[in-house]
Amino acid sequence: MDTKKILVVDDEEILCEVLKLNLENEGYDVDIADSAEQALTFDLTKYNLILLDIMMGEISGIKFAKIIKKNPLTANIPIIFCTAKDTEDDMIMGLDLGADDYITKPYTIRNVIARVRSVLRRTYKENTANTEVKQYVVEGLVVDMMLMRCTVDGEEIKLAKKEFELLAFLMANQGRIHSRDEILERVWKGETIVLDRTIDVNITRLRQKIGIYGKYIITRSGYGYGFNI
């Protein structure tokens, strides 16, 4: 697989350099821009991912993201917001813009790298879904999308249809917290009336059914759920 190119857009010079160094150590090709204005002078179509601060100069990260998403040539480039704006409303606004993840400052480099891997892995899987065998595996937990079954340490576990789809969704998007609205849209799409409580109940059942691996289904109060190892 060819090297993935990442653009870091942030007005904190030292932070940009630290991200560039560590991401390059992970094998990525990284460019940096200290403003959205500078980033707009680049050929954005060559990037596989953009790490983007929100609070910058005249063109904020939000405005920059809107510009990217309106351009058909760049609309599908995944975006991860890295920002000190950490309220739930800020996060929801970022995700509604089409961002693929939202990381609040201060953060660890290890966390950023894990999120980058997750977004790139998810994007690559979505783009190659027709040629890949879809099976999500974490230790002894296996969700087989071809046979539509879940096994725990080799033993098949009986899951309801929505429980299976919810687990598959969370495992396919590891390292990211999903709001209830996003889960409802992705797992319960087309359903007429679905309560938030429905998600909570299914999460509780999943944790019980997959045994020791239930610890990987995490809750972030006020934000939602995710799968993290």
168 Cβ contact list (under 8 Å, min separation 6): 136, 143, 145
**Predicted local distance difference test score (pLDDT) of residue 137:** 86
**Predicted local distance difference test score (pLDDT) of residue 199:** 86
**Predicted local distance difference test score (pLDDT) of residue 139:** 87
**Predicted local distance difference test score (pLDDT) of residue 136:** 85
CB 80 within 8 A of CB 101: yes
Q: What is the pTM of this model?
A: 0.54
Backbone torsions φ then ψ of 124, nearest 5 degrees:
-65, -40
Q: Residue 23's closest CA among 106, 80, 64?
A: 80
**Predicted local distance difference test score (pLDDT) of residue 60:** 86
Distance (Å, whole) CA 97 – CA 182: 13
**Predicted local distance difference test score (pLDDT) of residue 95:** 67
**Predicted local distance difference test score (pLDDT) of residue 173:** 85
CB 3 within 8 A of CB 27: yes
**Predicted local distance difference test score (pLDDT) of residue 122:** 75
CB 70 within 8 A of CB 62: no
The verdict on whether omega for the bond into residue 78 sits within 30 degrees of 0, i.e. cis, is: no
**Predicted local distance difference test score (pLDDT) of residue 133:** 46
**Predicted local distance difference test score (pLDDT) of residue 130:** 45
For the chain, 229 residues long, give each residue's pLDDT as a single digit of tens: 468 899 999 988 899 999 999 999 999 999 999 999 999 999 998 899 999 988 887 888 888 988 988 887 788 888 988 877 655 566 666 666 667 788 887 788 888 998 898 888 877 665 544 445 467 888 889 998 888 889 998 899 999 888 999 999 999 888 888 888 888 888 887 655 556 678 888 899 999 999 999 999 999 888 889 998 7
At residue 191, the 3 state secondary structure works out as coil
